[in-house]
Structure 1
Amino acid sequence: MIWRACLMVLALSTNASAQEYLNTQTELSDNDFYRLVSCAAPPKGECAKPIVKWSKPKLTIGITRMDPVYLGGKKKRAEAALARAIQAINSAGSAIRLERSDDDPDIPILFIDMPARSQIENSGYAALDGTPISAAGVRVFTKDGVILKSVILFTLGLQMRAYESAMLEEIIQGLGLLTDIGGKYYETRSIFSQSSNSRTKLGEQDIMALGRHYPAR
């Protein structure tokens, strides 16, 4: 995807420098795929990001802000995209379970009246204001490898037809799988594709990676 996933390391009170995506032109092994999306490791290489996870298997997620410009068709499309994403993740076989709640959820989703490729303003999260965003993105707050909150933001730059794919990807990244995959091979095979938003369902290796990150007991 074209959107940025950002790791906010609270122990350091700064943004961690992070690789947004890595390129591959061929199929990766399951192990290389998981290491790429979970810690930005190139095939057979070392991690460029810390591995971060939620410490609890049940998480709440909800739309906590929907600016008036989204009301109508965009709001309906967003609500439907969230419902489908929750269903897809809950049925993937990992230990993670998502529950819809718009009351201070673990993963709040904000639809903000602002253009793409601008700086976030008045988000309600001081650590996010003043930071750049493209069309949509997720900011993951962590401490000592544990995710404390993930904030998903959508801007007016994201076309409504991309809501379903973007919603699923941003939620997956908000679970700690933060790195996208560049290259044509995964454009039709993975939700992590950096250059395509054609997928609206988890690919086989996407499901594998989620299961490795949160093994079912």
Structure 2
Amino acid sequence: MIRITCAIWLAFTASANAQEYLSATKALSNDDFYNLVACAAPPDGTCAKPLVRWDRTELTIGITRMDKIYLGGKKKRAEAALVRAIQEINAAGSAIQLTQSEDNPDIPILFLDMPARLNIENSGFPNLDGTPISGAGVRVMAKDGIIQNAVIIFTRDMQRRAYESALLEEVIQGLGLLTDIGGPYYETRSIFSQTSNALTKLGPQDIMALGRHYPTR
């Protein structure tokens, strides 16, 4: 992942000098779990990334581009996955509330006709073009700890059956919880698992982390 210095794009997919994920071989305490996903801190360690948040809690999100290759079953699956992701996050009890809108949303979602593991081209976002992407990913632009923009991208290599899990993960990471968890322990326990798309709902510690990042007043 690319670190922020002042204002640059945080990339969920790759970087030469920042952690994309940290491994956990056993259950983490709530403090360690939150610090890992929020700022890439190893257990009992210090943050490797700055904490970033939106400065408001009511955000819009929507699919603003879906290339022709997705029309049909993939389109329907993607749209249903977004509805479920919004419902899941809104029901988590944090201060964040998402509303679906395709009219210049705070978090646009792009389904691009491009293979995974290449650099993004012609996305409509000049700051994204030229950066690498895996099957799916999120880009977050932040300044002084405040998220300015977030964009979610899917490639054609993301399998349709993984849409629900992947989209929920990308949405919650677009809220500033940007680091994945490696290792088998969290594969069935957290949406942040680096190696599994098994979950389509937030795990208990996922809900805790979102609530800490956006506490209710």
- Shorter-chain TM range is over 0.9
User: Is 1:82 equivalent to 2:95 in the alignment?
Assistant: no
Q: Which residue does 1:11 correspond to in 2? A: 6
Q: TM-score of the superposition, structure 2-length normalised?
A: 0.94
In structure 2, distance between residues paired with 1:85 and 1:14: 24
SS of 2:60 mapped into structure 1 = strand
In structure 2, distance between residues paired with 1:167 and 1:134: 14
CA shift at 1:66, angstroms?
0.4
Q: Which residue does 1:119 correspond to in 2? A: 119
Q: Which amino acid aligns with 2:147?
A: I
Q: Which residue does 2:24 correspond to in 1? A: 24
Identify if the C-alpha distance between structure 1 residues 75 and 55 changes in structure 2 by more than 3 Å, giving closer, same or farther.
same
CA shift at 1:9, angstroms?
3.9
Q: Which residue does 2:70 correspond to in 1? A: 70
User: Unaligned stretches of 5+ in structure 1?
Assistant: 1-5
Task: Give the number of equivalent residue pairs.
Answer: 212
User: Unaligned stretches of 5+ in structure 2?
Assistant: none
Identify if the C-alpha distance between structure 1 residues 12 and 100 changes in structure 2 by more than 3 Å, giving closer, same or farther.
closer
Identify if the C-alpha distance between structure 1 residues 116 and 179 changes in structure 2 by more than 3 Å, giving closer, same or farther.
same
Identify if the C-alpha distance between structure 1 residues 10 and 101 changes in structure 2 by more than 3 Å, giving closer, same or farther.
farther
CA shift at 1:18, angstroms?
2.7
Q: How does 1:1-217 map to 2 (within 5 A)?
A: 6=1, 9=4, 11-13=6-8, 17-217=17-217
Structure 1 vs Structure 2 CA RMSD: 1.4
In structure 2, distance between residues paired with 1:14 and 1:138: 10
In structure 2, distance between residues paired with 1:11 and 1:63: 28
Identify if the C-alpha distance between structure 1 residues 33 and 87 changes in structure 2 by more than 3 Å, giving closer, same or farther.
same
In structure 2, distance between residues paired with 1:11 and 1:199: 34
CA shift at 1:143, angstroms?
0.7
Q: TM-score of the superposition, structure 1-length normalised?
A: 0.94
In structure 1, distance between residues paired with 2:168 and 2:108: 14
CA shift at 1:8, angstroms?
7.1
In structure 1, distance between residues paired with 2:174 and 2:19: 16
Tell me the alpha carbon deviations over residues 88-131 of structure 1, each in whole angstroms, 9 at most, x when there is no partner: 00000000000001011000000000001111000011111011
CA shift at 1:11, angstroms?
3.1
Identify if the C-alpha distance between structure 1 residues 190 and 123 changes in structure 2 by more than 3 Å, giving closer, same or farther.
same
Aligned-pair identity (%): 69
CA shift at 1:61, angstroms?
0.2
SS of 1:79 mapped into structure 2 = helix
